[in-house]
Every structure is written in C-alpha cells, then in structure tokens.
Chain A
Amino acid sequence: MKKFLIRDAIVPSLVATTKDGAIRELVGTLQAAGYFQPTEVEAVVKEIMRRESLGSTGIGRGVAIPHSRFEGLTKLIGTLGLSRAGIPFDSIDGEDVHMVFLLVSKPDQPGPHLHALETIVRVSEDDAFISKLLACETREEIWRLIEDTQDPWNRE
C-alpha cells in the first residue's frame, strides 16, 4: 500500500459525514499534497461521484474504495481517510463506512489499479489489520501500519 498511498494526504479523522463530503475532503488532501492543481479538484470529485452513481464502492466491513481515472497523473495515487462517526455509503452490506481508500489512476494503467483494489480487499478481510487501523489516531500511526503491511503481490 505504501507504493500508492500518499502519506501526506492521509486523514486520521475525516470531518465530513457524507459520501460526497468525504470524497471531496480526500481529493482536497491529495491536491494539498501537490498531486492536483486547485482547478482540477472539482473535475476529479465529479468523476469519482459519477462512478459512485453506477454502483457504490462500499465493499463491506466498513471499507469503501471510491475511485476514478484522471489524465495527467504520472502514476496511480491514493489516500485513506478514517471516519470515527461512520459515513452512509450504500455499501453492499448496508453498514456505514469507517475507512475510505480513495484511488485515482492513470487511464492507461489498469494493472496497478487492479493491484491496488486487490490489496485493499485483502487488508479489509484481515480482522487484525482492521482493528489496528481503526485504533490509529494520527497520520504517523497509520503510516507506520501501512509500512508494516506487505503488499500481496510481494508475498508471492
């Protein structure tokens, strides 16, 4: 995960309490970390919300993976926001979302996107990882956990 999650864009406690708000907040932190121009934020948010309208990316177990493609990136990037309160996300299990992994990929690179999805699904099925993640209170704690978590394709 450390290959695609942007450390400086991680949000240990989302202010937003809605899907739209959380997506906006996370795209904003990627912009603040230098990955988008301020003028591009709206387009990225809109594209992610368009994807959500085709079917929620809430995969259950409190995890959502909102995503889109965006021209102009040099590689796939992502960030993670934790919500203490929980966010209604129309997830497949109907539960609120507490962990939002937001991905923005290069349009011509489906491989890294599939690997990122696989990685997030895998950690979301790991009870130990989930409880450790939810116990994190700072960006540094989250980053340390991410650094300690092997990506699945490195294990093979």
Chain B
Amino acid sequence: MSATIAMTNGPLLGDNTPLLATVVIRNPRGLHMRPAMMIARLATKYQSTGTLRKQERKANLKSMTQLMLLAAIQGTELELEVVGEDAQIAMPILAEAIAANSSEDLELMLK
C-alpha cells in the first residue's frame, strides 16, 4: 500500500509530502484574537496550506476565526501540518509563530 502512495507523493512530482510537527502554545494568554490574526496574516504569505489540530478540531492557519475556534490556552499541544510547494520554508516559521510567547514577538516576525 505504501509503495503506491510513496510514488504519487515522490520527489518527481514535486514534494507534496505533508510536514508534521507538534507545537505547544507558550503565550500566557493563549491563542487569542491578536495572535490568531497575526498567524493568519503570516500563513497567507505562503502558498502552502497549514492546518492546526487540537484533538478532533482543526483550523486552517490562514483563517483567524478558525484559529480562534481552537480556544487553545497556554500549554496546549497542537499538531501542525503544512502541505505545499513552499512547505519546507513555511513550516519552521509557522511553527515558531504559533509557539510565540507574545503578540509583540509575532509582530516582529511579520516585519
């Protein structure tokens, strides 16, 4: 089974293998509106699609409101999946943004 999948996802077709990471919310105020807005703005700069999962809930990183629906408090572990042409570049930046300590740190990343 995996052989077929490995072929369709293989490097010859452009690498669309989803990149996965576990990210922990460090902001003492959690993933509130302002970080959600800035993460969405940052995610929009990439072609790749980012998805953040908290158990059965999932949010498209490019949507502020979907991120707010996660209601993720400090310490929440989230699964981040990034798929797309620029996933290798986007992944570490998006992971860092989600784990940012404060909105001020996120603001610096947007500059």
Q: Which residues of A contact B (CB under 8 A)?
A: 54-55, 57, 59-60, 65, 67, 92, 110-111, 113-115, 117-118, 121-122, 124-125, 153
Q: Is B30 an interface residue (CB 8 A)?
A: yes
Known A113-B29, A117-B68; 10 more pairs at CB < 8 Å:
A65-B33, A110-B29, A110-B30, A111-B73, A113-B30, A113-B32, A117-B32, A118-B71, A122-B69, A124-B65
A67-B37 Cα distance, complex, nearest whole Å: 15
Contact with A along B55-72 (1 / 0, CB 8 A): 000000000110011111
A153-B32 Cα distance, complex, nearest whole Å: 17
A65-B34 Cα distance, complex, nearest whole Å: 12
Q: Is B31 an interface residue (CB 8 A)?
A: yes
Q: Kindly provide the distance from the CB of B53 to the nearest chain A CB, expressed in whole angstroms.
A: 15
A122-B65 Cα distance, complex, nearest whole Å: 9
A122-B33 Cα distance, complex, nearest whole Å: 14
Most buried by A among B31, B69, B70, B71: B71
- Interfacial residues of chain B within 48-95, with CB under 8 A of chain A in the complex: 64-65, 68-74
Partner of A121, one of B29, B34, B65: B65
* A124 / chain B contacts, CB cutoff of 8 Å: 65
* A60 / chain B contacts, CB cutoff of 8 Å: 65
How many chain B residues touch A (CB < 8 A): the figure is: 18
Closest to B76 in A: A114
B33 touches A118 (CB 8 A): no
Q: Is B28 an interface residue (CB 8 A)?
A: yes
B33 touches A117 (CB 8 A): yes
Given A114-B72, A115-B71, A118-B71, A59:B64 Cβ within 8 A:
yes
Could you list some 20 contacts between A and B, CB below 8 A? Answer: A54-B103, A55-B34, A59-B64, A59-B68, A92-B64, A110-B28, A110-B30, A111-B73, A113-B29, A113-B30, A113-B32, A114-B30, A114-B31, A114-B68, A115-B71, A117-B33, A117-B71, A118-B68, A118-B71, A124-B65
